[in-house]
Amino acid sequence: MLLDLDPASPVPIYQQVVDGIRRLVAVGALRSGDQVPTVRDLAAQLRVNRNTVARAIQDLEAQGVVRTRVGQGTFIAAAAEEAAGASREGLLGEAIDRLITEARQLGVALQDLPEAVRRRVVEHSHRHGKGKR
Amino acid sequence: MLLDLDPASPVPIYQQVVDGIRRLVAVGALRSGDQVPTVRDLAAQLRVNRNTVARAIQDLEAQGVVRTRVGQGTFIAAAAEEAAGASREGLLGEAIDRLITEARQLGVALQDLPEAVRRRVVEHSHRHGKGKR
Amino acid sequence: MLLDLDPASPVPIYQQVVDGIRRLVAVGALRSGDQVPTVRDLAAQLRVNRNTVARAIQDLEAQGVVRTRVGQGTFIAAAAEEAAGASREGLLGEAIDRLITEARQLGVALQDLPEAVRRRVVEHSHRHGKGKR
Amino acid sequence: MLLDLDPASPVPIYQQVVDGIRRLVAVGALRSGDQVPTVRDLAAQLRVNRNTVARAIQDLEAQGVVRTRVGQGTFIAAAAEEAAGASREGLLGEAIDRLITEARQLGVALQDLPEAVRRRVVEHSHRHGKGKR
DNA sequence: GTGGTCTAGACCACG
DNA sequence: GTGGTCTAGACCACG
């Protein structure tokens, strides 16, 4: 489970865990039927409170991303990708929507957004290495 | 005061007020020296408790965005734009950065982002009205 | 009336006026029997609200520093210096007491205070000009 | 927590709490990583409302003196000493500066200050107990 | 159990 | 009339 958590973030830990697992599903690192570590183990790995992990798993179950079978453990659900929009496109779409909302509130014309993003991406590339990053 | 609050949001109301006023400064709707509506008026307009508004104003003062003179009222500070970190470009840039971070974590190639944003903007336009929105 | 007021100070304006006048008395710039400008005039000179000046004068009267004679105006009281400890020594003593209180709260040994003050005075002299300032 | 509050002071209670904790950091009584008593405990000890203590802690967080993790408690921040502006010398220096300013305004020669302080300290000692106090 | 938010309402300080 | 403080009390989010 490669989840890097940031305790300093305003996003609550359990939410970071939820987001992280959804992302792993979206990216294909976790697939239908894969077993998710037990709450106990996951808590130990991530060095967070068990309640926190339990809450995250609960949320993921409510979203249909995982399925718990009593006595057997927790598994990535059959339709995990579609469920909860956990596809790469779904998550990216949500992120873009957040940007659009902010732009609207700032009174920025939406048709200018793609160009603004393009410029920013270029800046990032220059700052962090080669152009293709 | 065009501040619309979302009581259902996880973002606390006083924080929404803080963000909203900083945004108004960023957009140029509020300028150095302008008086901010009184706490009582704002509270009435927004239909929230006076204390909640007072808290927001105090935060803005601590951040250097406003300057309050007891008995007189609250005014946009001289150096508000900088203090607000708030040029429109700055806030938009931060929002774009959050998108870029998400894209990275999803393993989406950055050069594909502008196009993805363009498509999403078009969808929004169709959903909410005319193409130019 | 050479009173410089600082609207940005946490000390309320009326208190700054009170302090300023007491200081003028202590320094001998105002003496028993001198007339104090009317509230109206003083407010105009200092560019502050009349209520503010009125409150300051009221306080000074309560402290025995000034004496208002109806229909004639306000005057520095006969025993203004002694009254309200408005002597130079009195005001300086109060200021020293505030320093002593702070030192106590910081757990600084009081016998070390005079030396600490001496060093700081030297620094100030060097910073602001000749040694005698 | 050795914080004594003065309810009669013009300084608001929450501010007294802020000052008190910063002082404890400055004095070294609280160090990086130390847990600050819980809001509820502090409120009980100081016999003030929980909200009042909460406000103080939030101010300290905004100032970077403490770091609070909801559900876990509040801790002295890593860089607390600097953030507190707070080295013992710093706070004492500011207090001395205030005395110097007052002396200047009263036209007292600065080189006479240390001796004036020495005399006052002696008086205090006699008034409150033994000479060494 | 921890801190955070919000309300209602009282009272105060300042101008 | 303006903002600031404080309390009591309810409810919530997090771990």
pLDDT tens-digit map of A58-82: 999 998 899 998 888 999 998 887 7
Residue C92 touches partner D, C-beta closer than 8 Å = yes
What's the CA D59/C1' E6 distance, rounded, in angstroms? 18
Residue of B nearest to D63 (CA): B62
Q: At residue B132, does pLDDT exceed 90?
A: no
> Hunting for tokens 């300028």 — which residue is that?
B31
Mean pLDDT for D46-70 is 94
Which chains have at least 3 CB atom pairs separated by less than 8 Å from chain D?
A, B, C
pLDDT tens-digit map of D14-23: 999 999 999 9
pLDDT at A88: 82
- Higher pLDDT residue, A126 or B18? B18
Question: Which chain A residues are Cβ-neighbours of D69 within 8 angstroms?
Answer: 7
Contact status, residue C76 vs residue C36, Cβ threshold 8 Å? yes
Q: At residue D105, does pLDDT exceed 80?
A: yes
Residue D69 touches partner A, C-beta closer than 8 Å = yes
Using DSSP, state whether B130 is helix, strand or coil. coil
Mean pLDDT for B34-45 is 96
Q: At residue D40, does pLDDT exceed 50?
A: yes
pLDDT at C7: 84
Sign, CA dihedral C99-C105-C106-C111, equals positive
Taking the alpha carbons at both ends of chain A, their separation in whole angstroms is: 24
What are the C-alpha distances in Å from B67 to residues B36, C9, C69, D56? 10, 12, 39, 20
What are the C-alpha distances in Å from A84 to residues A9, A18, A54, A73, A81? 23, 11, 18, 21, 7
Contact status, residue C50 vs residue C37, Cβ threshold 8 Å? no
CA dist., res. A123 & res. A108, Å (int): 20
pLDDT tens-digit map of A38-48: 999 999 999 99
Residue A18: phi and psi, rounded to 5, are: -55, -50
> Hunting for tokens 């001395």 — which residue is that?
D96
Tell me the Ramachandran region of residue B38: left when phi exceeds 0, alpha when psi lies from -120 to 50, beta otherwise.
Answer: beta
Q: At residue B133, does pLDDT exceed 70?
A: no
CA dist., res. C64 & res. C62, Å (int): 5
Helix H, strand E, coil C: the string for chain D is CCCCCCCCCCCCHHHHHHHHHHHHHHHCCCCCCCEECCHHHHHHHHCCCHHHHHHHHHHHHHCCCEEEECCCEEEECCCHHHHCCCCHHHHHHHHHHHHHHHHHHCCCCHHHHHHHHHHHHHHHHHHHCCCCC
Instruction: Give the containing element (helix H, strand E) for C124.
Output: helix C113-128
Q: At residue B11, does pLDDT exceed 60?
A: yes
Strands (E), C13-123: 35-36, 66-69, 73-76
CA dist., res. B12 & res. D85, Å (int): 30
- Higher pLDDT residue, D79 or C96? C96
CA dist., res. B84 & res. B65, Å (int): 6
Task: Give me chain C's average pLDDT, please.
Answer: 88
What are the C-alpha distances in Å from C92 to residues A58, C112, C132, D97, D123? 67, 19, 19, 13, 14
pLDDT tens-digit map of B75-84: 999 988 776 6
**Chain D: nearest CA to A14, how far in angstroms?**
12
Question: Are D93 and C120 in contact (CB < 8 Å)?
Answer: yes
Mean pLDDT for A7-32 is 90
Mean pLDDT for A17-34 is 91
pLDDT grade for D4, boundaries at 50, 70 and 90: confident
Mean pLDDT for D9-18 is 94
Mean pLDDT for D106-120 is 95
pLDDT at C130: 54
| HSE-up of residue D28 (Cα within 13 Å, Cβ side) | 4
pLDDT grade for B13, boundaries at 50, 70 and 90: very high
Closest by Cα among C35, C28, C14, C6 to C91: C28
Residue nearest to nucleotide F6 (CA to C1'): D52
pLDDT at A129: 66
Nearest nucleic acid nucleotide to D11, CA to C1' distance: F5
Which chains have at least 3 CB atom pairs separated by less than 8 Å from chain C?
B, D
What are the C-alpha distances in Å from D29 to residues A23, B117, D60? 45, 54, 16
> Hunting for tokens 């336009």 — which residue is that?
B125
CA dist., res. C42 & res. C35, Å (int): 12
Strand E nucleotides with an atom less than 7 Å from a protein beta carbon: 1-10, 13-15
Sign, CA dihedral B13-B14-B19-B21, equals positive
Residue B69 touches partner C, C-beta closer than 8 Å = yes
Tokens linked to D46 = 């100081």
pLDDT at B86: 61
> Hunting for tokens 């204390």 — which residue is that?
B51
pLDDT tens-digit map of C55-105: 999 999 988 899 998 888 999 998 887 765 657 888 899 999 999 999 998
pLDDT-wise least confident of A122-131, B38-47, C31-40, D109-118: A122-131
Mean pLDDT for A104-116 is 93
pLDDT at D133: 42
pLDDT grade for C133, boundaries at 50, 70 and 90: very low
Using DSSP, state whether A96 is helix, strand or coil. helix
Query: Given strand A73-76, what is the order of strands in its sheet?
Result: A35-36, A73-76, A66-69
pLDDT-wise least confident of B44-48, B120-124, D26-30: D26-30
